[in-house]
C-alpha cells in the first residue's frame, strides 16, 4: 500500500465542539446521512445520543477503539447508521443554547486527543466544529482559537489560517489580533515565513505546481506611495520581490478595496490578506456556509467550519450542514494529495 493509500485507510477525527452549540447537531446529522470515508466523532456519547433523539434521527452510537476496523464508507444504507464516537465526557449537563463554562476542559480535551491521534498516525486528519473561545477562557484555560491551539500543540513555530470556498482561497498574515497590533506584527521575517508555508501547502496539499498569489497591501490604496503608510515600501514589496526573483508568481501589494473584484481575481489561486477582517468578510460574503477554514503548516491536515456556535439554532434542524460537509471534503482531498 502506498503512503497516501495507508493514510486514506485511517479515519478522520471530527470534534463536536461547544456542547451547547450546533456542533453536536451537525455531527449527528453528518453521521446519519452517511460518510464517504471512515470517521470518528469526539464528544460526549450521552450528549450526542440526546441530540440525535431530539432531531428525530435514528442512529447507533458505537464507542470507538483504536483496534477497530471501520467501514470504508457509509452511504447511509446501514439501518440504523452507525456513529463511531471517541468518548469525551462532559463535566456538566447542557441544554441546547445554554452553555456551561464547566465543560471548557472537555472541549479542549477533544482537541488534544484529536491532535495527538493525528501526530501518532492513528487519524487521517482533524475536522473541527465551532467552539466558544470566551467560555473556554472563563473555565481558566488560555485559548485564543483552534488555529493557535493546534500550532502550540504540534510545536510548530508558525501556521497560516486560510479559508477556502469553491471559487476563492484567502490566507492571512495575522489572525486573531487587535487591530492596533496588526502593523507591528507584519515583519519581513513573518511575511517571508507565511509565504513559504502558503506556497508549500498550495503545491503539496492542493496540487498547484506554480500557484499564483495576489497579495494585499496593509494600508488604504496599498500605502499610496508612502503617503498613507510605509509598510508596503519598507516590508511587503521587498519580501515579494525576493520571491519573484526566485520565480514565484506573487502579485502585489495590491489595494484591498479593488483586489477582490472579478477582473483582478481572475486566474489567481489564492489571496494573501494582511489581517483577519481585511480578507475574510469578502470570502464569507461570497461563500458563507460552503467554505472551510484550513490551518496550513501543521504536520497534519486540519479543517473546520466557517461559522460559530449558533446557540440560537442548537437543538434544531435549522443549522446549515454545508460548511461541515465542505470541511470534511476538503480534508479528504488534502490528505489524498499528501
Give the distance, in angstroms, between the CA of residue 211 and the centroid of all CA atoms in the same chain: 21
77 is in an annotated binding site: no
Strands 12-15 and 126-128: parallel
Within a 10 A sphere around the Cβ of 288, how many other Cβ atoms? 15
Distance CA 172, CA 159 (A): 10
187 is in an annotated binding site: no
284 is in an annotated binding site: yes
176 is in an annotated binding site: yes
The values of phi and psi at residue 195, to 5°, are -65, -40
Alpha-helical segments (H) within the chain: 3-9, 23-33, 45-54, 104-119, 133-138, 146-154, 179-185, 188-204, 231, 237-245, 256-259, 262-265, 276-287, 322-337
Residue environment code for 310-323, b if the CB has 16+ CB neighbours within 10 A, otherwise e: bbebbbeeebbbbb
Within a 10 A sphere around the Cβ of 1, how many other Cβ atoms? 8
Residue keyed to cell 508612502: 226
103 is in an annotated binding site: no
Asked if residues 131 and 256 have their Cβ atoms less than 8 Å apart, the reply is no
221 is in an annotated binding site: yes
147 is in an annotated binding site: yes
Which residues are part of a known binding site for substrate? Answer: 146-147, 284, 293, 302
Which residues are part of a known binding site? Answer: 146-147, 176, 221, 276, 284, 293, 302
Which residues are part of a known binding site for a divalent metal cation? Answer: 176, 221, 276
Amino acid at each position: 500500500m502506498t503512503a497516501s493509500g495507508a493514510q486514506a485507510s485511517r479515519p478522520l477525527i471530527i470534534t463536536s465542539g461547544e456542547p451547547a452549540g450546533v456542533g453536536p447537531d451537525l455531527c449527528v446529522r453528518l453521521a446519519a446521512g452517511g460518510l464517504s470515508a471512515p470517521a470518528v466523532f469526539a464528544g460526549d456519547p450521552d450528549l450526542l445520543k440526546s441530540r440525535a433523539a431530539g432531531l428525530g434521527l435514528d442512529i447507533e452510537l458505537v464507542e470507538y477503539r483504536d483496534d477497530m476496523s471501520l467501514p470504508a464508507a457509509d452511504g447511509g444504507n446501514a439501518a440504523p447508521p452507525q456513529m463511531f464516537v471517541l468518548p469525551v465526557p462532559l463535566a456538566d449537563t447542557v441544554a441546547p443554547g445554554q452553555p456551561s463554562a464547566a465543560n471548557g476542559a472537555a472541549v479542549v480535551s477533544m482537541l488534544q486527543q484529536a491532535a495527538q491521534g493525528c501526530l501518532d498516525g492513528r487519524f487521517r486528519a482533524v475536522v473541527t466544529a465551532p467552539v466558544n473561545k470566551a467560555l473556554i477562557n472563563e473555565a481558566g484555560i488560555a485559548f485564543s482559537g483552534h488555529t493557535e491551539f493546534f500550532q502550540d500543540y504540534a510545536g510548530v513555530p508558525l501556521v497560516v489560517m486560510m479559508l477556502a470556498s469553491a471559487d476563492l482561497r484567502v490566507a492571512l498574515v495575522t489572525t486573531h489580533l487587535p487591530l492596533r497590533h496588526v502593523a507591528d506584527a507584519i515583519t519581513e521575517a513573518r511575511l517571508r515565513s507565511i509565504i513559504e508555508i502558503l506556497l508549500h501547502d498550495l503545491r503539496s496539499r492542493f496540487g498547484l505546481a506554480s500557484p499564483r498569489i495576489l497579495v494585499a497591501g496593509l494600508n488604504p490604496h496599498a500605502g499610496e506611495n508612502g503617503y498613507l503608510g510605509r509598510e508596503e515600501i519598507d516590508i511587503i514589496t521587498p519580501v515579494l520581490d525576493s520571491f519573484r526573483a526566485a520565480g514565484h508568481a506573487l502579485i502585489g501589494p495590491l489595494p484591498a478595496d479593488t483586489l477582490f473584484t472579478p477582473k483582478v481575481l481572475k486566474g489567481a489561486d489564492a489571496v494573501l490578506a494582511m489581517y483577519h477582517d481585511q480578507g475574510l468578510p469578502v470570502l464569507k460574503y461570497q461563500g458563507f456556509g460552503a467554505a472551510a477554514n484550513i490551518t496550513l503548516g501543521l504536520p497534519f491536515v486540519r479543517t473546520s467550519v466557517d461559522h460559530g456556535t449558533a446557540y440560537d439554532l442548537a437543538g434544531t434542524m435549522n443549522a446549515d450542514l454545508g460548511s461541515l460537509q465542505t470541511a470534511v471534503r476538503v480534508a479528504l482531498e488534502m490528505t489524498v494529495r499528501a
